[in-house]
């Protein structure tokens, strides 16, 4: 319907192309204002008329159209009222299409997303969930729009912290304890190093010396480092499996260590490197930023150097149209510095194609998480606890209602893990997120379980219909009541919501859309019986149930969440 209205306006308005018209068209906040609205403010300057006069002229030029009930001038707006049965038919058919909500706008274009990226030899805690969840959702959103998305896990597997771990392991650790407890034991050693270094600062010098050995290819140092990395990856992948996520590439900082010399050479050739207290920096004072450190005074690289190497490698390898970095907002300055250095090397694409996507902090019932102090909660433990709590709820409800759910464990996993993901993604990413079990697992609030329950209800309705033929012809005039139209209008928003979520790097728009569809469906369901004797009306209403079910599933999959058939 929107495309047909764009056609009408394009034929009768000069000076605007289809893309501009599409961007201007709005969905009015109230049904009495129409189904679509076209504001004429922008045309006033070029046409030298009042906007309301322009709206009246466009209305006259369009005239009568077979699919439009009425075109009304409301101030500076041209409001379009679509014939209800035509609107219903077009929406049901559109929403039934396989790729409803998607497009091919990204065909032939590559986007790199750098997310999750935990520091090796440190536990994957609740704080790591945000980057992982947001990044995975963005991957799915851009894939829905046709982009070739490269999921990159830029592991923190290089740097002075490994010097600290080697010192700690050689001083207080043993092979048997590390093999037994994995990352947990490595974390104990890491915390112990910082405690001991407060009393004995020379330990920091030893750590720096071991990292220099790593950079110089010392066999012992690299053997211990690789061992720590292998142990970490086993545990990280177990958490990713629980989340139902994976990556195309696990290319950590270490992958770029033999590529940093090229970065230094580029900066030297461009006369951008200067010396400061023995270190090599790029002076960014002219851009109101602290200098970007490239080489430390011992000649070793820093993560900024490796990030620069990664950018050039990704551009050469994938020729991305965008490279997105999903990290905490505390890294804003770091990425501003790195992106500016890329730009100063003569790469104008850096301004538009390199994007830092920050997010807020995460806490558990208000308790802030810290790595060095040891006040940490494993992401895996949170997810498993969510699954366990949901399983208890399911079993309790089964006993109360005498219901039987075939796959309790599978359903509990979908709902428990989905609840954690949805709790994060429902909020704007820049806002802080707190894990509250009461809120997280509420089956009646604006939560993942509520949306999943609505999906399961749709499935249950369709399973229980008598003499139902999903291929039967539909009389669309039978589902033009207010509740049905409101539901269709919510579903109608899906394609634009996906585009907006991509443009704003904001998965919360998808999550809120899913809740809105679920709420609208439950209102429709409460006002309209489905399994009735009137076959034509039953099949018409069932068509709405079917597209609601599909739309909810598609929206939730964009968040990395699957929906169970029974709850």
Supply the CATH number for residue 514's domain: 1.10.730.10
In this structure, is residue 139 part of a structural domain? yes
Rounded to whole angstroms, how far apart are CA atoms 421 and 560?
Answer: 8
Q: Where are the alpha helices (DSSP H) in 426-534?
A: 437-440, 448-464, 482-492, 494-503, 508-527
Position 377 scores a pLDDT of: 75
Say yes or no: 328 and 395 in one domain.
no
* Same domain? 260 vs 290: yes
Helix (H, G, I), strand (E, B) or coil at 112: strand
Best CA proximity match to 134, nearest among 111, 116, 112, 110:
116
Long-range contacts of 43-51 (CB under 8 A, 24+ apart): 43/13, 43/15, 43/16, 46/15, 51/75, 51/76
Domain that holds residue 444: 381-557
- Domain count of the chain? 3
Residues 482, 355 share a domain: no
Residue pointed to by tokens 């912290």: 161
Question: Residue 447 half-sphere exposure, CB side, CA atoms within 13 Å?
Answer: 20
Q: Is residue 263 part of a domain?
A: yes
Kindly state the tokens that stand for 414.
Answer: 């979908």
Residue 511: CB atoms within 10 Å: 28
pLDDT for residue 301: 82
Q: Which of 289, 324, 359 is the last residue of a domain?
A: 359
| For the chain, the helix, strand and coil percentages under 3-state DSSP, each to the nearest 5 | 60, 10, 30
The reply to whether 289 and 171 lie within a common domain is yes
CATH for 311: 3.40.50.620
CB within 8 A of 479, min separation 6: which ones?
Answer: 88, 540, 541, 543, 544
CA R_g for the chain: 28
CATH number (domain holding residue 62):
3.30.1360.70
Residue 93 lies in a domain: no
Spell 176-203 as b/e; 16+ CB within 10 A means b. Answer: ebbeeebbebbbbbbbebbeebeeeeeb
57 and 116 housed in the same domain? no
Distance CA 91, CA 488 (A): 7
Residues in the chain with pLDDT values less than 70: 364-376
The answer on 78 and 138 residing in a single domain is no
Q: Is residue 481 part of a domain?
A: yes
Q: Looking at residue 388, what is its pLDDT?
A: 94
- What global pTM score does this model have? 0.90
Q: How far apart, in whole angstroms, are the C-alpha atoms of residue 258 and residue 236?
A: 25
352 lies in the same domain as 437: no
Tokens coding 533: 């004797």
Whole-number pLDDT of residue 378: 82
pLDDT score of 367: 53
Q: Cα separation of 380 and 390, whole Å?
A: 15
């Amino acid at each position: 319907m929107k495309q047909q209205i764009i056609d009408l306006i394009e034929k009768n308005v000069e000076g605007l192309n289809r893309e501009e018209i599409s961007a201007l068209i709005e969905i009015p906040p109230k049904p009495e204002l129409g189904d679509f609205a076209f504001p004429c403010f922008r045309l006033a300057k070029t046409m030298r008329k009042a906007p309301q006069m322009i709206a009246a002229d466009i209305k006259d030029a369009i005239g009568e159209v077979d699919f439009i009930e009425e075109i009304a001038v409301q101030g500076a707006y041209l409001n379009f009222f679509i014939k209800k049965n035509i609107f219903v038919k077009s929406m049901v058919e559109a929403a039934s299409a396989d790729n409803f909500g998607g497009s091919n706008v990204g065909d032939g274009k590559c986007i790199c997303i750098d997310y999750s990226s935990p520091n090796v030899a440190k536990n994957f805690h609740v704080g790591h969930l945000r980057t992982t969840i947001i990044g995975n959702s963005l991957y799915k959103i851009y894939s829905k729009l046709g982009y070739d998305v490269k999921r990159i896990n830029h592991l923190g597997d290089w740097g002075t912290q490994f010097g600290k771990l080697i010192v700690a392991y050689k001083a207080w650790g043993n092979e048997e304890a590390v093999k037994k407890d994995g990352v947990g034991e490595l974390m104990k050693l890491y915390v112990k190093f910082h405690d001991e270094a407060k009393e004995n600062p020379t330990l920091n010098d030893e750590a720096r010396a071991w990292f220099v050995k790593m950079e110089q290819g010392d066999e012992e140092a690299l053997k211990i480092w690789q061992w720590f990395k292998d142990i970490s990856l086993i545990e990280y992948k177990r958490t990713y499996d629980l989340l139902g996520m994976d990556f195309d590439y696990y290319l950590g900082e270490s992958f770029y260590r033999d590529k940093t010399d090229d970065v230094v050479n580029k900066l030297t050739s461009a006369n951008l490197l200067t010396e400061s207290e023995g270190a090599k920096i790029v002076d960014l004072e002219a851009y109101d930023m602290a200098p970007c450190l490239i080489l430390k005074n011992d000649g070793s690289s820093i993560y900024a150097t490796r990030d620069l190497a990664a950018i050039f490698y990704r551009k050469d390898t994938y020729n991305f149209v965008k490279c997105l970095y999903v990290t905490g907002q505390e890294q804003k300055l770091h990425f501003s510095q790195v992106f500016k250095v890329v730009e100063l090397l003569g790469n104008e694409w850096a301004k538009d194609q390199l994007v830092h996507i920050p997010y807020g902090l995460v806490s558990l019932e208000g308790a802030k998480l810290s790595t060095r102090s040891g006040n940490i909660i494993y992401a895996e433990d949170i997810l498993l606890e969510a699954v366990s709590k949901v399983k208890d709820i399911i079993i309790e409800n089964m006993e109360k209602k005498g219901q039987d759910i075939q796959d309790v464990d599978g359903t509990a996993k979908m709902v428990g893990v989905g609840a954690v993901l949805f709790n994060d993604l429902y909020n704007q990413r820049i806002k802080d997120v707190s894990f509250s079990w009461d809120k997280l697992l509420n089956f009646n609030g604006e939560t993942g379980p509520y949306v999943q329950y609505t999906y399961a209800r749709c499935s249950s309705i369709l399973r229980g219909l008598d003499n139902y033929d999903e291929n039967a012809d539909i009389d669309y005039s039978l589902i033009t009541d207010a509740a049905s139209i409101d539901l269709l209008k919510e579903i109608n928003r899906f394609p634009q919501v996906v585009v907006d979520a991509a443009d704003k790097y904001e998965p919360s728009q998808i999550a809120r859309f899913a809740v809105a569809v679920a709420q609208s469906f439950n209102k429709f369901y409460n006002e309209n019986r489905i399994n009735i004797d009137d076959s034509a009306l039953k099949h018409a209403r069932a068509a709405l149930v079917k597209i609601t079910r599909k739309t909810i599933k598609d929206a939730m999959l964009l968040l990395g969440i699957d929906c169970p058939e029974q709850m």
